[in-house]
Structure 1
Amino acid sequence: MELELRHLRTIRAIADAGSLTKAATALGLAQPALSAQLRRIERSLGGTLFERGRTGVRTTALGELVLDRARVVLPAVHELQQEAVRFARTGAPHGPRTPLRLGGTHGPLLGGLVDRLAAADPGVAVVTHTSWSEREIAASAAEGRLDYALIGACGESAPPGSGTLAWTEVARDPVFVMLSTDHPLAARSGIELAELAAEAWTDVPGDGCFADCFAAACVRAGFTPACVYETDIASCVHLVQVGRAVGLCRATFPDTPGMVTRPLVGTPLVWRHLLGWHPEAPAATRAPDVVGHVRAAHNDAVGRSASYSRWLTARAAVLHNAVEGADR
């Protein structure tokens, strides 16, 4: 793992807070997730950065060295970002058109957004960057390295960079389960989470709270997942197709040979699609158009998912009947 700016921010936050619990709250992370991240950072740097005690944490000699460098690097990068934004805003208005820089996590919306932007304005080049880390994408937008961040958030959790970036909710989807076409429950229209208690699971990694929310939903359903494979999308699909695991996916996940997607009864997990940008960046003037393109791309993705379309139709019927019953 290569050391990144977000890792330096994490180290500084832990040192400033004096405890992992307080730092996790400040960073919007679950404490176990922050501990795991710190262990990865320490392995990358070759030693322990903090000594844990009953009253909190204390920096080691190596930790002090890294903190000294972080206190120089982070303000310098922030100053560079501000200077770059000011330069971009005062650049020649009739000069060459700069590329539109998009960042996103795994999912169908980034490709759909690129397609729609290219069709709407062929004269503008589009540059993309992808990462499994929502925080990395958001930090890149906050630091001026990306114009727009297209990420997801679990349930009602706040997106990263909430104090710096402007965020708009593009869409809200239930989380579905992926099953092999040979799975005994594959023919069902809806599946109780508890019915999958004995299964191994697969999902893509992320640094938000989704893993914790999934674990909590399983506990409410009466079990703890025995095994969760965190891997890339292609590997998740393969594990499901061969019957090695069941998977979690957004409801817009496209139909794929050898597997089906099915809703979880009661919608225990929800995924929100979010678009963020720096409100003072030059590209912010295009935000309404970009939001419209993302929402159109989401509608396209919904139309390509037969299982999601059926779920939406059934849900609309239930709501219609409820309204009619209330009017009687």
Structure 2
Amino acid sequence: MNLELRHLKVVCAIAETGSVTKAASTLGLAQPALTAQLQRIERTLGGPLFERDRRGARPTALGELVLARARVLLPAMKGLQDEAARLAGAGTAMSRYRFGGANSPILGRLVHRLAKEHPHAQISTYASWYVDELSQLVLNGRLDYALVGVCGDATPPGEFGLTWRAVSVDPVFVLLPEAHPLADRDEVHLALLGEERWVAAPGDGCFGDCFAAACARAGFTPRKVYETDVLSGLDLVEAGEAIALCQATFRPVSGLVTRPLAGAPLRWRLLLGWHPDAPAARTGDRVFGHATAAYVDSLARNPGYRAWLSRHPNFGAQQRAAA
């Protein structure tokens, strides 16, 4: 049997989990199948790689040698695959635009603008709430651009080496049912919401911590937070079971209203990212211009937020601001 990269991944998985059984679960294999594969690997290398007993699996001297080499080879091969994916399209014009994101206020208008400018281009979208996942897909060459939101002055993860540009900075509003006692106010102080139940969308980043910190400054801890998708969250708010934080650009459906939080204690930055060595970098400025224009377009149907922006000029579109 010739040793392959997948065999090195097996050895690393066993070492990292400390157990053949746990490694099998991590790799999605049956335990007997992984045990048989490990035995074939050991025969190929000429000796046992792990000492196994009731306490788990511990690398032998030979196992440590293999692990040392594998921990160099596997990342190197991953880097080669990523570079190859980007280089494969480096000599071709942008005939496709692949966007990743979720819950973006501008994605639909951005796609419309690009489709109008490039009627023959292939434009696709991929939904994910997780910035790390989208960044990895851009790094791997499977997406061209990522539209993500981050809390306040937070920055997206830097280990992926992407270029990020800020499209907009917006306050976070609160979404209430029309019958809520505070729904008729021009703005709502966060401290008045201490007895409410909340609904939130899934995702990573620090927004949950920022929300908890803002509530602590307002003198309370949130009673309950439901994590669910957007439509289910709207149902919970409409039913009066919870209230929600929302982007200021959100246009509520019938029966719901959005209200600013007094003092704008929470902010949301919308970012567009791409890899600087990918073909998408050549059209990054133009796509960013379309993204900014799409954001401005989104305000046309939200007169309440436009009025708020006229009184708070530090918020809104960031033009060419760097993220």
Quick check: 1:89 aligned with 2:90?
yes
CA contact (8 A) 2:151 2:206 kept: yes
Equivalent residue, structure 2, for 1:113: 110
Equivalent residue, structure 2, for 1:170: 167
Quick check: 1:242 aligned with 2:239?
yes
Structure 1 residue identity aligned to 2:305: Y
Q: TM-score, normalised by structure 2?
A: 0.74
1:128 deviation in Å? Answer: 0.9
Equivalent residue, structure 2, for 1:140: 137
1:160 deviation in Å? Answer: 1.9
Structure 2 residue identity aligned to 1:237: L
Equivalent residue, structure 2, for 1:216: 213
Equivalent residue, structure 1, for 2:155: 158
Q: Which of the residues 287, 290, 293 maps onto 2:290?
A: 293
1:104 deviation in Å? Answer: 1.0
CA contact (8 A) 1:205 1:230 kept: yes
Quick check: 1:79 aligned with 2:80?
yes
CA gap 1:88/1:187 in 2 versus in 1, 3 angstroms = same
After superposition, where does 1:240-279 map in structure 2 within 5 Å?
240-279=237-276
After superposition, where does 1:192-211 map in structure 2 within 5 Å?
192-211=189-208
1:250 deviation in Å? Answer: 0.7
Distance (Å, rounded) in 2 between the aligned partners of 1:312 and 1:303:
12
Structure 2 residue identity aligned to 1:81: D
CA gap 1:163/1:63 in 2 versus in 1, 3 angstroms = farther
Distance (Å, rounded) in 2 between the aligned partners of 1:62 and 1:83:
36
1:218 deviation in Å? Answer: 0.3
Equivalent residue, structure 2, for 1:24: none
Corresponding residue SS for 2:166: strand
Gapped regions of structure 2 (runs ≥ 5): 1-8, 17-21, 28-54, 314-323
Identity of aligned residues (%): 44
CA contact (8 A) 1:154 1:210 kept: yes
CA gap 1:222/1:164 in 2 versus in 1, 3 angstroms = same
CA gap 1:62/1:144 in 2 versus in 1, 3 angstroms = farther
1:81 deviation in Å? Answer: 1.3
Structure 1 residue identity aligned to 2:223: A
Equivalent residue, structure 1, for 2:41: none
Equivalent residue, structure 1, for 2:301: 304
Distance (Å, rounded) in 2 between the aligned partners of 1:148 and 1:230:
27
1:74 deviation in Å? Answer: 4.4
Equivalent residue, structure 2, for 1:37: none
1:283 deviation in Å? Answer: 1.7
Deviates more, 1:271-280 or 1:153-162: 153-162
CA gap 1:125/1:163 in 2 versus in 1, 3 angstroms = closer
Corresponding residue SS for 1:86: helix
1:196 deviation in Å? Answer: 0.4
Q: Residues 14-56 of structure 1: CA distance to partner in whole angstroms, max 9, x if unpaired?
A: x8xxxxxxxxxxxxxxxxxxxxxxxxx99x749xxxxxxxxxx
Equivalent residue, structure 2, for 1:183: 180
Equivalent residue, structure 2, for 1:230: 227
CA contact (8 A) 2:135 2:160 kept: no
1:152 deviation in Å? Answer: 0.8
Corresponding residue SS for 1:171: strand
Distance (Å, rounded) in 1 between the aligned partners of 2:143 and 2:71:
22
Distance (Å, rounded) in 1 between the aligned partners of 2:137 and 2:57:
27
After superposition, where does 1:31-42 map in structure 2 within 5 Å?
none
Distance (Å, rounded) in 2 between the aligned partners of 1:190 and 1:175:
12
Structure 2 residue identity aligned to 1:283: A
Equivalent residue, structure 1, for 2:100: 103
Distance (Å, rounded) in 2 between the aligned partners of 1:112 and 1:72:
43
1:187 deviation in Å? Answer: 0.6
CA gap 1:86/1:307 in 2 versus in 1, 3 angstroms = same
Q: Which has the higher helix share?
A: 1
Q: TM-score, normalised by structure 1?
A: 0.73
CA gap 1:278/1:125 in 2 versus in 1, 3 angstroms = same
Distance (Å, rounded) in 1 between the aligned partners of 2:291 and 2:231:
23
Corresponding residue SS for 2:136: helix
Distance (Å, rounded) in 2 between the aligned partners of 1:135 and 1:63:
31
CA gap 1:278/1:182 in 2 versus in 1, 3 angstroms = same
